[in-house]
Amino acid sequence: ETGVTQTPRHLVMGMTNKKSLKCEQHLGHNAMYWYKQSAKKPLELMFVYNFKEQTENNSVPSRFSPECPNSSHLFLHLHTLQPEDSALYLCASSQDDRGIGNTIYFGEGSWLTVV
């Protein structure tokens, strides 16, 4: 138990569906992150939020839409995805987004399959 909880753990969706991934952290952190893990590729940072404000969008396609209503919750809204978007999506949190030595804590991930 890392203190970062992701739901659902597994999601299968069609290319025309709209779905959302949810992340909740119980660590009192102020920064939250979405990462994408694809087979045989390094983890890719997608978005960073600090104190509910987006501070990084790593050139992510608009079919991925993040939402951070408060420092404890982070969503990733999915719409008209492509099969190549199938991956493990990892949520993470840290004390804030500026501390060089801050440890980033990850959730267990949401396995997404786009059919």
Partner 1 sequence: GDSVTQMEGPVTLSEEAFLTINCTYTATGYPSLFWYVQYPGEGLQLLLKATKADDKGSNKGFEATYRKETTSFHLEKGSVQVSDSAVYFCALSDRTGANSKLTFGKGITLSVRP
Strands (E) in the chain, as ranges, are: 4-7, 10-13, 18-25, 31-37, 44-50, 53-57, 64-70, 73-79, 87-94, 105-106, 110-114
Residue closer to partner 1 (CB basis): 8 or 14: 8
Q: Which of 17, 65, 72, 106 binds partner 1 (CB under 8 A)?
A: 106
Q: Residue 65 CB, nearest distance to partner 1 (Å)?
A: 20
53 sits near partner 1 (criterion: CB under 8 A): no
Residue closer to partner 1 (CB basis): 81 or 92: 92
CA angle 75, 33, 4 (to 5 degrees): 75
Residue 99 has, within 13 A of its CA and on its CB side, a CA count of 12
Q: Which residues bind partner 1 (CB under 8 A)?
A: 2, 4, 6, 31, 33, 40-43, 45, 48, 50, 55-56, 90, 92, 94, 96-109
